[in-house]
Amino acid sequence: MSRMNRRTFLKTTAAGAASLALAPALARRERRPNVVLILTDDQRWDGMSCAGHPFMKTPNMDRIANEGVRFANMFVTTSLCSPSRASYLSGLYAHTHNVMNNFTDYPVNLPSYHRRLQEAGYETAYIGKWHMGEQSDEKRPGFDYWASHKGQGKYFDTTFNVNGKRQLLKGYYTHRVTDLAVDWLNRAGARHRPFLLILGHKAPHCPYEPEPKYATVFDHTKIEKPPTANDYGEGKPEWVRQRVPTWHGIDGPLFGAKEYGKFVRTFLATQLSVDDSLGEIYSTLKKIGELDNTVLLYASDNGSMLGEHGAVDKRTMYEESIRVPLLVRYPAMIREPRVVNEMVSNIDVAPSIVDICGARPVRKVHGMSWKNLLLRKARGWRKSWYYEYNYEKEFPYTPNVRGVRTDEWKYIHYPNGDDQPDKYMAELYNLKDDPLETKNLIDSPEAKEKLKELKAELRRLQEKTGALPDKMPVNPEIKMELPEESIR
């Protein structure tokens, strides 16, 4: 080989070696973003200090809000665990994905954002509470890694199916699933592939058991009942008044009036551990060099009433039941932290994730991608949305619910009372003037035109989403018992 040829050869070889050395780094920068979705159970939108909680401090939730976007008006389209979780995955309403109670599993062949990302080359993992198909802990399709359990799980010492091997994970639930998530992120980060992690927490679902270090943290905090605690349904449909002495009532058998303070303290205390967990996930992403290349989302499957309207639990269409947190951190699209006030919902998460990640869309979804909202482009965003809850025989004092919410108004319809006058089967609230939903305007002459408008909007949304009444028959097991005056 001539000197010139040898020199050229050596330069070419060195350049090639340098290119090979840089390839993983270039691939790392150019590949699609990771996604980490953290989902709690029953956390209300106001259960964070960044959302104005009066005394609970959530520094890690606040950090995500301060470095990204907090959606101030995030809602669920069915306020019940399994239907909502299926809507998160599919972008569909419950009447379409057909997970309408807490015992139905996610349909095997139903498209979802996690399967779209897996198709696009993502490494996928589900860790924690799945809560669809309660009797099975088997690995679900679309996940490369699986660590979950049957049913609700327990706050202490839960048996998990970890990729086909059942094992008792002793200790506090929140920390055990966090340990699994941290280990998986460390391994996934070393493989230089884009990854998706969904982490499902048990907290703050009842029965509430805080970890020992937080068990007494609020013992000296004065807990007052909400302003609507004595709102037992005056001016509301009869079923609302019937509910009060039952399981759903604030003074019902779930807990007595003397236990109210403990009920709220323990509910809040479980969320402190979740905040710690979020901090560990954040630190791990930073350590493996993937924090800023990750779409980090924090949300909840539904809200929970803590005495509002004299009730506990969820299922209803009151704000405390349907409104949940949504925090999103992704510096590539969020140039400065802010609060977004447009109304978004759980059916928007699937189309948003595949849109941001450039994966194949989930077709014919009911939700919308809020990618443009991150980019400050709100034109064409929704002005109203549809809510539904489908009767469960286990909870006979909550009938079917169909409703529509706009920025300032809410119309709630109970189809079990379709043969009765409006005031016995519906509620109408001016949220701007009455944010606590205490003055039912359903029979108000001044709101007559607004009622007509919202009824028409409800019908339009039902037609658009395939939820027309003739396709969604009312469960015959419930019959609203109305006061004598209604049949005079």
Residue 24 lies in a domain: no
CATH number at residue 157: 3.40.720.10
Residue 445 lies in a domain: yes
Which residues span the domain enclosing 343?
Answer: 31-381
Q: Indicate the residue among 330, 355, 381 that finishes a domain.
A: 381
Cβ neighbours of residue 2 closer than 8 Å, sequence gap 6 or more: none
Residue 7 lies in a domain: no
Domain shared by 393 and 322, yes or no: no
Domain shared by 116 and 88, yes or no: yes
Domain shared by 306 and 393, yes or no: no
Domain shared by 278 and 418, yes or no: no
**CA–CA distance from 416 to each of 46, 422, 477 (Å)?**
31, 12, 10
Question: What is the model's pTM?
Answer: 0.90
Domain shared by 429 and 375, yes or no: no
Domain shared by 314 and 402, yes or no: no
Domain shared by 334 and 466, yes or no: no
Q: Indicate the residue among 381, 400, 427 that finishes a domain.
A: 381
For the sheet with 74-75, list strands across it: 323-324, 74-75, 344-345
Domain shared by 334 and 424, yes or no: no
Residue 16 lies in a domain: no
Digitized pLDDT (tens) for each residue of the chain, 488 residues in all: 444 454 444 444 444 444 344 333 333 446 799 999 999 999 999 999 999 999 999 999 999 999 999 999 999 999 999 999 999 999 999 999 999 999 999 999 999 999 999 999 999 999 999 999 988 999 999 999 999 999 999 999 999 999 999 999 999 999 999 999 999 999 998 888 999 999 999 999 999 999 999 999 999 999 999 999 887 667 888 777 766 666 567 776 665 556 889 999 999 999 999 999 999 999 999 999 999 999 999 999 999 999 998 888 899 999 999 999 999 999 999 999 999 999 999 999 999 999 999 999 998 999 999 999 999 999 999 999 999 999 887 777 778 899 999 999 999 998 875 556 666 689 999 999 999 999 999 999 999 999 999 999 999 999 999 997 755 555 544 444 433 332 22
Cβ neighbours of residue 263 closer than 8 Å, sequence gap 6 or more: 208, 255, 306, 312
Domain shared by 302 and 416, yes or no: no
Domain shared by 353 and 473, yes or no: no
Domain shared by 482 and 431, yes or no: yes
Residue 19 lies in a domain: no
- Whole-angstrom distance, CA of residue 245 vs CA of residue 310: 9
CATH number at residue 432: 3.30.1120.10
Q: Indicate the residue among 381, 398, 413 that finishes a domain.
A: 381
Residue 431 lies in a domain: yes
The domain total for the chain is 2
Domain shared by 338 and 474, yes or no: no
Q: What is the CA radius of gyration of the chain?
A: 25
